[in-house]
Amino acid sequence: MNRIDIINERYALSGAIARTGVEVVAVGDPAGARFNAAVRRLTILVKDEGPGYLDDLAAAAKALRWRRMTQPQPLVFNPVILQLAREVERHSRRLTGAIAEQDLLDELSASAAAVAFSDSALGAVLLRSCLAVGIKNCVVVAASKPAAAGLAAWMEEQDVLVLTAGELEREKPKREQAYVVGPPRFYRSSLVTAPVTSGVSFFLPAWFGDRSVPSSAIALYAEGALRIQAHVLTQGDTAEPEVDLPAEPEAEYLPQPAWGARQAGEREPTNEEAEAHKILLSGGLAMWLDDGERIRSLDPCQPAGERVAYTDIQAVRAGTYLLLRQGETERGALYQAAIARLARGDEVDAAQVAWKQLLAEKLQTLGYRKTVRELRAAGVTTADRARAWTNPSLTRPHSDQGFERLLRWLGVDAQPTFGYATMLRKSLYRVSAEVREKLEKAVSAVDLSELEAVGHLSLDLETDGFRGILATRVLAISPFTEIVSRHDVRVPFKDGSGRWLE
């Protein structure tokens, strides 16, 4: 099938969905409804109290609620449900006497236990629907790769195909019906506005109140835009506890890490420090990510030979796969390898150290803000990068004119410093390209489906200084920065804050 045929088929499928709408099947879940009501009360308490002592309890509770919603397989295939329920009970017990709402702690423990010992009716309804339409005619769509792995382990005996929304889009299996697990609100609108199947049904617990189907971002402004109707069906015992609580934003239903509060205050970092966001990574790891220009990444969806690349720091998101050197930064190893290849490596290194030290002294005496103002007055347009330029592994400003003006402002003769820095940058590019080629070979030799399922994978490189490369998925990025030592930036370390995000 050529590209035009594929486009025509997608238009036909979109037309079918527009005519018939989508089903939203809301299934009664009394145990889940009770627990949801308790979690909503906890969420309000957390907002009133602020970040701190309730964070661990809230994180475990939201993770349990999310798993109940998106992984409705029987408990025998869902052991994490019991682990999460025990975490909720443990943190509730730990807080006994610390808050006045003891009844809330008791209800959280009791309702979590009820969830841990009762299969969700949602799973049974989903499986019956698959068998009714025919397993060769349907595909189950999961909210994430871990969710897909859990559902697939349960449904493999029935030979039901389970994919994520992204996999469905890429693989385009020949199926008539997509059964999507979870509320429409948590999926991209393209699942229904540019469907792969002629029928789409969403399955969610009845206690999740928003059953609306999202439209595309331009639907409000586009003439003739698709507006998909939702036909809501309810099944089972949909009774819920009566609660007088405000509607909960959809983001509150997502598993969330406990970030706490910013510790650095308003002080500026010293020359040996950096402002960095904490990034939670798959495999029980975390990392401090500074304001550098780019970081090496991996895209499993690209064809072989094009999977390893650099990603702009601002483009790193939850779901991005990073390639990290375990124990230390890749940048330091690249710098040393690039210096070693230069005939005048010692002179180049000394020149780099000299101008960077002068810049560091200016930052120390003038402060960051005044340094930036003076550099801008001198014509350095990217002056806000001044602190980053003191890092040894960042060779020089990208702009030739900007670098010359920076050196002039520092009182440094343009030559040989300018030439040395440019020479070093070219050497760095060559070393980086060679490492990339070896990484591509290492990536091609492993099963990337394991990376997508587990979230992290070790790669072996036959290159001195670059052994122990880790491919790992970004789980979450802190909403604020902290001031940390430059030596700690981009170095993975053990951290349990994201243990319930996978």
**Residue type, position 331, single letter:** R
Are residues 224 and 211 part of one domain?
yes
pLDDT tens-place string over residues 253-283: 887 787 877 887 778 888 788 889 999 999 8
- Dihedral sign (CA 227, 250, 61, 149): positive
Residues 360 and 502 in one domain: yes
366 and 495, same domain (yes or no): yes
User: Which residues span the domain enclosing 101?
Assistant: 30-119
Last residue of a domain, one of 92, 119, 146: 119
Query: Is residue 476 located within the same domain as residue 430?
Result: yes
User: What is the DSSP-derived secondary structure letter of residue 246?
Assistant: P
Global pTM value: 0.74
49 and 141: one domain?
no
Instruction: Please check whether residue 46 lies inside any domain of the structure.
Output: yes
Residues 6+ apart with CB under 8 A from 134: none
Whole-angstrom distance, CA of residue 359 vs CA of residue 362: 5
Query: pLDDT digits over 177-215, tens only?
Result: 999 999 999 998 888 888 889 899 999 999 998 898 887
What is the structure's pLDDT at 214? 80
Cis peptide before 173 (omega within 30 of 0): no
* 257 located within any domain: no
225 in the same domain as 85: no
Q: Which of 119, 134, 159 is the last residue of a domain?
A: 119
Identify whether 244 is part of a domain: no
pLDDT beyond 90 at 242: no
Q: What is the CATH number of the domain that holds 183?
A: 3.40.50
Has residue 259 been placed in a domain?
no
217: pLDDT strictly greater than 60: no
Question: Do the domain assignments include residue 499?
Answer: yes
Q: Which of 64, 84, 119 is at the close of a domain? A: 119
- The number of folded domains in the chain is 3
Residue 247 within a domain:
no
Residue 255 within a domain: no
Q: Would residue 431 count as lying in a domain? A: yes
Q: Which of 146-150, 202-206, 302-306 has the highest mean pLDDT?
A: 202-206
Are 453 and 469 contained in the same domain?
Answer: yes
Least confident of 135-144, 179-188, 239-248, 410-419: 239-248
Query: Which pLDDT band holds residue 7 (cuts at 50, 70, 90)?
Result: low
Give the tokens for residue 197.
């199947």
347: tokens are: 């002179």
- Position 388 scores a pLDDT of 84
Same domain, 362 and 453: yes
Q: Could you tell me if 161 and 115 lie in one domain?
A: no
Q: Mean pLDDT across the stretch 148-176? A: 92
pLDDT in tens, 381-401: 999 989 889 888 789 998 999
Q: Are residues 91 and 135 in the same domain?
A: no
Give the DSSP H/E element, type plus range, for residue 273: strand 273-281
Say if residue 293 is in the same domain as residue 320: yes
Residues 335 and 441 in one domain: yes
Name the phi and psi angles at 217, rounded to 5: -65, -25
Measure the CA dihedral 383/384/389/391, to 10°: 170
Using pLDDT thresholds of 50, 70 and 90, give the confidence band for residue 10. Answer: low
